[in-house]
Structures are given as C-alpha cells and as structure tokens.
Structure 1
Amino acid sequence: MRTIGLIGGMSWESTAVYYRRINEQVRERLGGLHSADVLMRSVDFDAIVALQRAGDWVQAAQVLADIGRGLEKAGADCLLICTNTMHKLADDVQRAVSVPLLHIVDATAAPLKEKRIARPLLLATRFTMEEEFYRARLRNRFGIEAIVPETSDERGMVHDVIFGELCCGVVKDSSREKYRAVMARGKAQGADAVIFGCTEIGLLVGQDDTDLPVFDSTFLHADAAVDFALAKSAALVA
C-alpha cells in the first residue's frame, strides 16, 4: 500500500471527511482491520483565508509547496490538496515535489466523462466559480463546459454559506433550501448534473436535494487517492 499525503485544514471540517472516506474505502476494498497509510498536515485555515483575501497567492503557494515537500520527505507517495479552491496553486505544489499530486478536477472529471455529462452546474467558492483555473481544466482536458449560478448574488450566497457556515461546522436548513433553489435554477439553465466543487458542500446537501446527478468532489478525490494507494503499478498516474 502506498502512503497518501494530505494537505488539509482548509477547512478541517472537510478534511475529516477525507480521512474517514479514505479509510472506509480501504476497509471496504481490503476487508478486516485494514486502514489507509496516511500522512496529514493540517493548517490553520484562518491564515490561509487571510492570504486569499489579500490576493497573496504567491505566499499561499509557498506555504502549500513547503507542506508538500515536508510530506514527501516524511514518506508520502502522492499528495492531495484537500480543497478545490487551493487547486489554483496545484501546479506550484506539483513543481515543488517529485511525487504525483492527484488533482481534484481530474478525479471529478473522470466519472463525468464516463456518464457523458457535458454541462454540469459548478457550486463552489467565488474563487473557483469565477476564476478560470477550475473550469478551464474541465474544458481543456475533458471537454466539459461547466456553468455557474447566473447572478453575482447567487454566487455570493453559495460562497458565504461555505465560509460563514459550513467551514465553521454550522449547517442550516435555510441554507439548504437556498442551495436547492440554486440547483433547480441551474437545471433550468440547462445543467445536466451538479458538481459539489467545494469540499464542504456535501455537509449541507446531497443527491436527495436535486434530481440532477450529483458529483461530490470530496468523495471522488478521496477515492482517487485510494485507487492510487492500492494500485499495483504507477499506471494510474502516468
């Protein structure tokens, strides 16, 4: 079994989901008392958010790259950044290490392609919805044209619920209803699926909250790590 390196804490609420999902999947696949071989570095999220708000992505990249190097030195055979937004810096982290960084967009796109999803609704932070790094990778590598909520107010609500509630462990029925409404409007826009493109969104809503197929990036990313850890060769990440 290969060792999985997790760059976590952004937020720790979703990193806990990663840890549980990875271990559940290893136990399911191997049985008995098996669990995953995991190294984790969990950051103080407030410091990362301060860099995001300041637009200091250079410093943020340095922080994540240093963590990645540390995990590699400690024995990690692959790395995961346990957040969608910080994949804005994925290339910087990959350049800093020699082990593969398993990209969350690639893990999410694989089942989308398999199900022939062409126009998913992307729900995420403003950074992920409004900047190009995420949607461009879906488009350029996989031919998937993700859409986002049409209005700035809708995108702001999705973002604010993530940072103001879910990252703080707060789950509100009123916010669930708002997300349900956004997903319904996404279907009216022509969406053929929903991507939970923030690792906390699954704490609030799930497949029962929409009649569109849901692709939860947290579970898909964690499962990709298990695939890598249990693979008999490095072919999966070639």
Structure 2
Amino acid sequence: MKTIGLLGGMSWESTVIYYKAINESIRDKLGGLHSAKITMCSVDFEELEKLQRQNKWSEIATVLSNSAKLIESGGADFLLMCVNTMHKVASEVESSVSIPLVHIADATGSKLVADDIKKVGLLGTRFTMGESFYKQRIINKFGIDVIVPDIDAQDTIHNIIYNELCLGIIDNKSRQHCLEIVDTLHKSGAEAIVLGCTELPLLLQQNHTDIPLYNTTAIHAEEAVLLALKG
C-alpha cells in the first residue's frame, strides 16, 4: 500500500471527512483491521484566509509548498490538498515537491465523464466560482460545460462557507438558499451540480434534492484510495 499525503486544515471540518472516508474505504476493500497509510500536515486556516482576503496568493503558495515538502519528507508517495479553492496555487505546490499532486478537479472531471455528464453547475467559494483556475480545467481537460450562479448567489454561498460551514455551523435556512441556487442552475441546463468546496457536503446531501450532486470531497478521497492500492 502506498502512503497518502494529505495537506489539510482548510478547513479542518472537511479534513476530518477525508481522513474518515479514506480509512473506511481501505477497511471496506481490504477487511480486517486494515487502515490507510497517511502522512498529514494541517495548516492554520485563519492565517491563510487573511491572505486570501488580501489577494496574497504567492504567500499562500509558499505556505502550502512548505507544508507539501514536510509531507513528502514524511514518506508520502503522492499528495492531496484537501480543499478546492487552494488549487488556485496547485501548480506552484506541485512544482515544490517530487511526488505527484492529485488534482481535485481532475478526479471530479473523470467521474463526470464516466457518468456521461455534459454540463454542470459549480458551487464553491467566490474564488472557485468566479475565477478560471477550476472551471477552465474541467472545460479544457474534460470537455464539460461549466456554469456558475450569478454574483449575488456566489456571495451568498461564499458567506455560508466561511461564516458557517468552516465553523461547524449547519443552518437549515442556508441549506434552503443553496438548494434554490441549485434549482436555478438546473433550470439553466446543468445536468448535475459539483459541490466544489469541501465544506459544502456538510450542508448539502443527495437526499436533499433530485438533482445529482457531485461531492468533490468523497470523489477526491476515493481517488486517493485507488492510487494507494494500485500496483
């Protein structure tokens, strides 16, 4: 079994889900007392969130690259950043180490292609929805059309993520707001919705809507398991 490298803490609420999902999948596949081999580094999200607001992405890249180096030195065979938004600096982080980085958008795009999805709605932070680093990767690499909510809806989702979900707050009114946004995207032609923030599955589960939801946390975690057990 290969050793999985997890770069987490963004937020720790979703990093916990990664750790649990990976170990549960390893147990289910191998049985007995088997668990995953994991090297983890968890950062202080408060510091990085301030840098986000100040648009200091080069400093964020430095912090995450240093953490990635620690993970590599701890014996990891490959690296996951347990977060969607920070993939804005994925290339910088990947170039700082010699182990491969498993990009969350690639894992998600592969799943969408396997399910023959042609057009998706993307939910996430303002950075993920509003900038091209995530959307364009799925469009260019997988040929899938990606649409996002309008600016007001993007602000609503962004605030729910940072002011509630990252703090462990699950609010039914916020869930309803998000479901209304999901419905709007569906009416605009989205066949499915990508939950492009690792905190969003804390609020939105498949039993809340008939519209297919793609949980990027679960997809990314399962990709890590498959790679760990491969070869």
- TM above 0.5, yes or no, is yes
Deviations, residues 84-128 of structure 1 (Å, cap 9, x unaligned):
000001100110111110000011111100111111110100000
Give yes or no for the alignment of 1:217 onto 2:216. Answer: yes
Alignment of 1:1-238 (within 5 A): 1-149=1-149, 151-232=150-231
Find the aligned partners of 2:25 and 2:110 in 1 and give their Cα distance.
18
Q: Describe the SS at the equivalent of 1:219.
A: helix
Find the aligned partners of 2:145 and 2:69 in 1 and give their Cα distance.
34
How far has the Cα of 1:145 moved from its partner?
Answer: 1.3
2:195 counterpart letter in structure 1 = F
How far has the Cα of 1:70 moved from its partner?
Answer: 1.1
Find the aligned partners of 1:145 and 1:134 in 2 and give their Cα distance.
12
Find the aligned partners of 1:164 and 1:100 in 2 and give their Cα distance.
33
- Unaligned runs of 5+ residues in structure 2 are none
Deviations, residues 27-78 of structure 1 (Å, cap 9, x unaligned):
0100110000011111110001011011100110011111111111110101
How far has the Cα of 1:148 moved from its partner?
Answer: 0.6
Find the aligned partners of 2:79 and 2:201 in 1 and give their Cα distance.
22
Find the aligned partners of 2:209 and 2:181 in 1 and give their Cα distance.
10
Find the aligned partners of 1:92 and 1:83 in 2 and give their Cα distance.
15
How far has the Cα of 1:79 moved from its partner?
Answer: 0.5
Find the aligned partners of 1:77 and 1:157 in 2 and give their Cα distance.
38
Structure 1 vs Structure 2 CA RMSD: 0.6
Find the aligned partners of 1:133 and 1:116 in 2 and give their Cα distance.
23
TM-score by length of 1: 0.96
Find the aligned partners of 2:198 and 2:98 in 1 and give their Cα distance.
25
Find the aligned partners of 1:208 and 1:191 in 2 and give their Cα distance.
18
Find the aligned partners of 2:80 and 2:71 in 1 and give their Cα distance.
10
Find the aligned partners of 1:155 and 1:209 in 2 and give their Cα distance.
20
Deviations, residues 152-180 of structure 1 (Å, cap 9, x unaligned):
11110011000000000000011111111
Find the aligned partners of 2:164 and 2:153 in 1 and give their Cα distance.
16
Find the aligned partners of 1:146 and 1:209 in 2 and give their Cα distance.
22
TM-score by length of 2: 0.99
How far has the Cα of 1:196 moved from its partner?
Answer: 0.4
Q: Describe the SS at the equivalent of 2:121.
A: strand
How far has the Cα of 1:197 moved from its partner?
Answer: 0.2
Find the aligned partners of 1:77 and 1:123 in 2 and give their Cα distance.
30
Q: Describe the SS at the equivalent of 2:147.
A: coil
Q: Describe the SS at the equivalent of 2:153.
A: helix
User: Sequence identity, in percent?
Assistant: 48
Find the aligned partners of 2:225 and 2:206 in 1 and give their Cα distance.
23
Structure 1 stretches of 4+ moved >3 Å: none
